[in-house]
Amino acid sequence: MKKILLVSALLLVCLSIFMSVPLYSCSVPVFRYALERWQPSPYEIVIFYEKSLSANDKLLIKMLNEHEAGEKANITVRPVDITLEMDDDTSSIWKSVKQEKLPVMAVFYPFLSFGGELSRSEIPAAWYSGLTEKNIKLVLDSPVRRELARQMLKGVSVVWLLIESGDKNKDAAAEKALLTESARLEKSIKLPEPVETDYLYLDKLKLKLSLSVMKVSRTDPNEILLIKSLLNSSKEMKNIKEPVAFPVFGKGRVFYPLAGMNIKPEKIQKTVEFLAGPCACTIKEQNPGMDLLMSIKWGSLITSTLSIDKELPPLKGLAGFVDIKQNQTMEVKHDVEKNRKVTHSVKTNYLLRNVIMLLLVLIFTALAWYVYYNKNK
């Protein structure tokens, strides 16, 4: 009898814990959940220098620091004097840098990438170069990355970013496969049935599957950081000379790429079905993929009432950076307040349920103890 009561009590406690966990993702497609809730992981920009920095170098580092402090880009900045003692991680980074002239700006991936958690010594730098204003601009923003953000914020679910091989026939075949299959999938794939409280910002009636294709040349000088960060993301990817298609979604999240002969209908469909399906795992790091380095203040642009064309114009060259207005309209404030009320209502319901479950556990435990005590007495 004692064992039965104890096991029953334990099961009830486990049940109460399970019931207290809200499953926010039940009806939200992966691409939308990522846009609303997953924050891009920061790239680490390490500035290696020897003993001292010039006044100009300090100004350039200040420019990077301002982007980090203002959350204008998903970066962290760390100056390192190579004459001082380094920890093992930093020493591994420095040894991997093959540029003699200092200061050197090395851009490293977030710890979490396609294959899970990696140490700095296991992956190469996404890119490294001299510390110049031009190179900083190349790191922080580019026309293709700006357009990727614009499309996703305007409702495109997944952007297939095709890095061309340079072989016109292969590139044309890959583009055709992506365009043809995307058009078919937009009509054939049905999104999960929406539940209003699952969404933070979007009017659920406006949600639809929208796919697009963008091309970028491997030799585009404005996109060197983007191309290097994608093609250096694994040893296998670095050696591929075929066209490579990267599915980009959310806040610049990249899913497993398709390369060469794998850019075919069944592979494209499998990728889109996953990204358009319900987000079963709400923790970003437990989902495969990597984040792009982007200078976008996503939080103020996700709401559907903002004009993306006005707030995030196309980037024509390297002169401009993202400058998002801080003052939002009353309409946006109203929507945000409405969403807060919905979220508060959901949390209140969960709180009430948890209180009831706790009371049941306490009552059951007290009853079990009473029976056991009287029996032994």
What CATH number does the domain containing 292 carry? 3.40.30
Q: 340 in a domain, yes or no?
A: no
Confidence of residue 23 (pLDDT cuts 50, 70, 90): very low
Model confidence at 333: pLDDT above 80: no
CA–CA separation, 364 and 264 (whole Å)? 58
Name the phi and psi angles at 106, rounded to 5.
Answer: -110, 130
Q: Which residue has the higher pLDDT, 334 or 40?
A: 40
Per-residue tokens: 127: 């890119």
Model confidence at 243: pLDDT above 90: yes
Q: Which amino acid is at 78?
A: R
Model confidence at 323: pLDDT above 50: no
DSSP assignment letter at 192: P
Q: Which amino acid is at 286?
A: Q
CA–CA separation, 301 and 322 (whole Å)? 12
Q: Which of 219, 290, 281, 196 is nearest to 250 (CA)?
A: 290
* Mean pLDDT within 313-325: 50
Q: Which residue has the higher pLDDT, 248 or 119?
A: 248
Q: 43 in a domain, yes or no?
A: no
**Predicted pLDDT at 307:** 63
**Predicted pLDDT at 122:** 56
**Predicted pLDDT at 370:** 65
CA–CA separation, 51 and 38 (whole Å)? 39
Q: Which residue has the tokens 């026939």?
A: 169
Model confidence at 290: pLDDT above 70: yes
Q: Say if CB 375 and CB 4 are below 8 A apart.
A: no
What is the residue range of 285's domain? Answer: 150-309
Q: Say if CB 251 and CB 35 are below 8 A apart.
A: yes
**Predicted pLDDT at 196:** 64
Residue-level length of the chain? 377
Confidence of residue 79 (pLDDT cuts 50, 70, 90): very high
Confidence of residue 316 (pLDDT cuts 50, 70, 90): low
Q: Which residue has the higher pLDDT, 293 or 194?
A: 293
**Predicted pLDDT at 92:** 81
CA–CA separation, 232 and 267 (whole Å)? 22
Task: Tell me the CA distances in angstroms from 209 to 170, 198, 272, one per residue in order.
Answer: 27, 17, 9
Q: 143 in a domain, yes or no?
A: no
Q: 320 in a domain, yes or no?
A: no
Mean residue pLDDT across the chain: 78
Structural domains counted in the chain? 1
**Predicted pLDDT at 256:** 93
Q: 100 in a domain, yes or no?
A: no
* Mean pLDDT within 318-341: 35
Q: 186 in a domain, yes or no?
A: yes
Q: 230 in a domain, yes or no?
A: yes
Q: 241 in a domain, yes or no?
A: yes
Among 15-24, 187-196, 315-324, the minimum mean pLDDT is found in 15-24
**Predicted pLDDT at 170:** 98
Q: Say if CB 178 and CB 245 are below 8 A apart.
A: yes
Peptide bond into 103 cis (omega under 30): yes
Among 35-39, 86-90, 114-118, 263-267, the minimum mean pLDDT is found in 114-118
Other residues' Cβ atoms within 10 Å of the Cβ of residue 371:
13
**Predicted pLDDT at 237:** 83
DSSP 25-86: TSS-BHHHHHHHHPPPPPEEEEEEESS---HHHHHHHHHHHHHHHTTSSSEEEEEEETTS--
Model confidence at 13: pLDDT above 60: no
Task: Tell me the CA distances in angstroms from 243 to 38, 228, 268, one per residue in order.
Answer: 28, 14, 14
Task: Tell me the CA distances in angstroms from 259 to 183, 188, 241, one per residue in order.
Answer: 20, 24, 9
**Predicted pLDDT at 299:** 79
**Predicted pLDDT at 95:** 84
Per-residue tokens: 107: 């851009």
Task: Tell me the CA distances in angstroms from 110 to 4, 56, 164, 297, 350, one per residue in order.
Answer: 49, 28, 25, 18, 34
Provide, rounded to the nearest whole percent, the portion of the chain with pLDDT above 70: 66
- The burial class, CB within 10 Å (0-12 / 13-18 / 19+), for 361 is middle
Q: Which residue has the higher pLDDT, 288 or 159?
A: 159
Tell me the pLDDT tens digit for each residue of 118-169: 444 455 688 999 999 999 999 999 999 999 999 999 999 999 999 999 999 9
β-strands 104-108, 43-49 pairing:
antiparallel
DSSP 318-336: SS------SPPPHHHHHHH
The pTM of this model reads 0.74
Q: Which amino acid is at 351?
A: L
Q: Say if CB 350 and CB 19 are below 8 A apart.
A: no
Q: Which residue has the higher pLDDT, 200 or 13?
A: 200
**Predicted pLDDT at 251:** 95
Among 8-12, 37-41, 371-375, the minimum mean pLDDT is found in 8-12
Name the phi and psi angles at 14, rounded to 5.
Answer: -60, -40
